């Protein structure tokens, strides 16, 4: 068991060294596209929060607000 774990760890370190070396050369590519992608989804979340906050305020007004008196008209 120890021998197979050791061999797997050696293989992992050996084959991942090229991936670590290639990571820094392509770090600057696509940063504008990534920023637009994240910004788009941030706008979606913000636009969904606005109606949710309005509904929450209305809910709290309904729960904790004063009771309205009913006006009766006498004919």
Instruction: Express each pLDDT in 25-69 by its tens digit.
Output: 555 567 899 999 999 999 999 999 999 999 999 999 999 887 767
| Residue in this structure with the two tokens 């009913």, named with its chain if needed | 70
Higher pLDDT: 12 or 23? It is 12
Query: In sequence order, what DSSP letters do the residues of 22-63 get, joined into one string?
Result: HTTTTSSTTHHHHHHHHHHHHHHHHHHHHHHHHHHHHHHHHH
Task: Give per-residue pLDDT as tens, 59-69.
Answer: 999 998 877 67
Please state the pTM of the whole predicted model.
0.42
Query: Structural domain boundaries of the chain?
Result: 33-64
pLDDT at 24 over 80: no
Nearest to 35 by CA among 43, 47, 24, 46: 43
Q: Is it the case that residue 18 has pLDDT exceeding 80?
A: no
């Amino acid at each position: 068991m120890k021998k197979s774990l050791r061999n797997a760890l050696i293989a992992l370190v050996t084959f991942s060294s090229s991936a670590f070396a290639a990571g820094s050369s392509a770090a600057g590519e696509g940063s504008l596209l990534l920023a637009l992608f994240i910004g788009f989804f941030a706008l979606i979340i913000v636009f969904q929060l606005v109606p949710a906050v309005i509904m929450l305020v209305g809910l709290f007004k309904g729960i904790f607000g004063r009771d309205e008196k009913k006006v009766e008209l006498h004919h």
